[in-house]
């Protein structure tokens, strides 16, 4: 009996040795804003299931690897990617809202319609039916996976805060300059990041979302925009390359701040505060 048991155990051991062992996937590398980062090939367990990260990240913007002309810090790389994530997330949310509205037109429940759409997007099944929506979803997923990796490499929580941007490390002097005006420095920072991202996108819907009304546009003719519906009439002013360039080159640490708000560039853009917080308050093209 003992001999039989021993033989069975021996046979089991041989079978275990012959059984294929799971192959550990190797990490891969992604170039981001002029720097190279190692990425975990495993899909995050707390994210909706999808393709392997290496496959999913093929949807990253083609210009993501381009550097700024200097070696950026890890914080600057993270800020670059978070800005792109904010744009992608808001564009995807807007597109999903429109898709759900169309789905509800057939009598469907909004929540059920949204779940059905996002489920098909996660598997790629929406490619033929809604290629533009699928592209937005794929881009957001790729950027979201990347930002998780960047945050983890910097010992930050992998999930981006609700604000969409990581908490900054502001100097005591900068914090004091905002508090002296009764401004919350963190609230001001997040408002600045949202406005900067919206200008970067060139998306009028995102600009409408960060604007405060009435919004003043100064140029050859002074105009006052009183609602998002009127924003299309000043599209040329908002997307003026000089205005967008001034915003793109602005950094929170070098902003001029006064009781009116924060000045970007040489006054091309002002970020002001109302009851809802900080947002785009004025554009000057003169």
Residue 37, domain extent: 29-153
For every residue of 230-263, DSSP letters joined together read GGGGGHHHHT-HHHHHHHHT--GGG-EEETTEEE
Q: Is 105 helix (H, G, I), strand (E, B) or coil?
A: coil
* Cα–Cα nearest to 153, from 44, 39, 273: 39
Q: Are residues 135 and 208 in the same domain?
A: no
* Cα–Cα nearest to 122, from 112, 113, 133: 133
Share of the chain above pLDDT 70, in %: 90
Q: Are residues 147 and 192 in the same domain?
A: no
- Assess if residue 74 is contained within a domain: yes
Share of the chain above pLDDT 90, in %: 70
Residues 39-49 have a mean pLDDT of 81
CATH code of 237's domain = 3.10.450
CA distance 281 to 106: 40
- Assess if residue 161 is contained within a domain: no
Token output for 265: 């560039």
Q: 210, 194 in Cβ contact below 8 A?
A: yes
- Assess if residue 36 is contained within a domain: yes
CA distance 41 to 57: 11
Predicted confidence band at 9 (pLDDT cuts at 50, 70, 90)? very low
Q: Are residues 190 and 145 in the same domain?
A: no
Helix (H) or strand (E) holding 272: strand 269-274
What does the pLDDT look like over 82-127, one tens digit per residue?
999 999 999 999 999 999 988 766 666 888 889 899 999 988 887 7
What does the pLDDT look like over 129-187, one tens digit per residue?
889 999 999 999 999 999 999 999 999 888 777 888 999 999 999 999 999 999 999 99
Task: Count the Cβ atoms, other than its own, within 10 Å of residue 17.
Answer: 8
Q: Are residues 142 and 190 in the same domain?
A: no
- Assess if residue 163 is contained within a domain: no
- Assess if residue 171 is contained within a domain: no
Q: 255, 181 in Cβ contact below 8 A?
A: no
pTM exceeding the 0.75 threshold for the entire prediction: yes
Q: Are residues 143 and 50 in the same domain?
A: yes
Strands 211-218 and 277-284: parallel
* DSSP β-bridge partners for residue 264: 269
**What's the domain count of the chain?**
2
């Amino acid at each position: 009996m003992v001999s039989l048991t021993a033989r069975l155990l021996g046979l089991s051991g041989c079978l275990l040795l012959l059984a294929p062992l799971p192959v550990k996937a190797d990490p891969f590398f992604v170039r981001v804003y002029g720097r190279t980062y190692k990425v975990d090939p495993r899909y995050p367990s707390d994210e909706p299931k999808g393709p392997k990260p290496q496959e999913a990240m093929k949807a990253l913007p083609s210009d993501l690897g381009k550097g700024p002309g200097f070696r950026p810090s890890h914080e600057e790389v993270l800020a670059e990617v978070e800005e792109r994530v904010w744009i992608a997330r808001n564009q995807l949310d807007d597109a999903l809202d429109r898709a759900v509205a169309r789905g509800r037109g057939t009598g469907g429940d909004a929540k059920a319609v949204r779940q059905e759409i996002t489920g098909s997007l996660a598997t790629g099944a929406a490619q033929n039916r809604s290629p533009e929506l699928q592209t937005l979803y794929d881009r957001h997923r790729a950027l979201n996976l990347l930002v998780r990796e960047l945050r983890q490499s910097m010992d930050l929580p992998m999930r981006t805060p609700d604000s969409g941007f990581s908490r900054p490390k502001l100097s005591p002097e900068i914090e004091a300059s905002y508090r002296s005006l009764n401004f919350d420095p963190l609230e001001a920072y997040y408002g600045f990041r949202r406005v900067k991202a919206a200008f970067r996108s060139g998306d009028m819907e995102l600009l409408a979302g960060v604007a405060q009304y009435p919004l003043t546009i100064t140029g050859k003719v002074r105009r006052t925009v009183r609602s998002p519906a009127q924003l299309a009439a000043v599209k040329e002013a908002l997307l003026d390359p000089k205005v967008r360039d001034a915003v793109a080159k602005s950094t929170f640490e070098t902003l001029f701040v006064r009781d009116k708000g924060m000045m970007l560039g040489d006054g091309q853009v002002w970020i002001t505060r109302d009851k809802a917080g900080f947002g785009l308050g004025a554009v000057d093209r003169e």
